[in-house]
A = this chain, B = another copy of it.
Amino acid sequence: MGRTSDARERLIQSGMELLHSGGYARAGVREICARAGVQKGSFYHFFATKGDLGLAVLERYHSHAHAVLDQALTPELSPAARIERLFQLSSEIQQQFRQEVGVMPGCPFGNLVLEMSTCDEGFRLFLARVLREIMERLEGAIRTAEPESDGQQTKHRAEAIFALLEGAILIAKAENDPSIIQRMGIMAKRLVSTRDA
């Protein structure tokens, strides 16, 4: 692996770690470079601005999120069981982070929505698209539970399930207790059509 591509990757990793632990405003280019062991001049070789690195970091989290969704929303499980599995996996991921760094970082998208939406329209639009994509995947995963329902109803259920997940992660982060997310999975099943729960 060439040094150049390696440096870009280290910057992204460093950005992911800092973003996760302290938010976007706190993560300075200087600190990102120091953590990555990359000169500040090289940073601007790879990214025109801190915002560009931010978007590269978001793309990476985006892939991770879809990998988790792939694991949870499998055809072998019933729609309600898929939702419960998603909450369980989210709880386990946060638990693992908490063991590593002592605190629960929460959802990178949720964190950035609340931090950035009012200050950066580009970030807000990117995040809104990511969130909408996740909700569409959830919609597909619960649709078989209510084949005769109109699409609008299923869409609103999927929105509510995702809202419950983000809210559960938020409360769990405040209490630094990832088990709350798993507990909420049982409640989330109530939002899937009763025909299936």
Min Cβ gap A86→B in Å is 14
A139 within 8 Å of B (CB atoms): no
| Cβ-defined partner of A115 (8 Å) among B114, B166, B168 | B114
How many Å lie between the Cα of A128 and that of B103 in the bound state?
A: 14
Considering only CB atoms, which chain B residue lies closest to A102 in the complex?
B118
Measured in the bound complex, the distance between the Cα atoms of B116 and A125 in whole Å is: 23
Contact B113 A173 (CB under 8 A): yes
Q: Is the interface of A mostly helix, strand, loop or mixed?
A: helix
A78 within 8 A of B: no
Collect the chain B residues with CB atoms within 8 Å of residue A191's CB: 187, 190-191
Q: Cβ of A25 < 8 Å from any Cβ of B?
A: yes
Closest to A109 in B: B174
Given A156-B187, A190-B191, residue A170 in contact with residue B118 (CB < 8 A): no
Residues A164 and B164 in contact in the complex (CB < 8 Å), given A114-B115, A117-B174: yes
Is residue A119 contacting chain B, with contact meaning CB distance below 8 A?
Answer: yes
Question: Is there an interface contact between A173 and B111, defined as CB atoms closer than 8 Å?
Answer: no
In residues 99-115 of chain A, which contact B (Cβ within 8 Å)?
103-106, 110-111, 113-115
With most chain B CB atoms within 10 A of its CB, the pick from A20, A118, A131, A190 is A118
Partner of A167, one of B118, B156, B162: B162
Other than the given A20-B118, A25-B26, A117-B176, 15 more pairs (CB < 8 A) read A21-B118, A22-B118, A103-B117, A103-B118, A118-B173, A124-B174, A124-B176, A128-B176, A132-B175, A160-B164, A160-B187, A162-B171, A163-B170, A165-B167, A166-B166
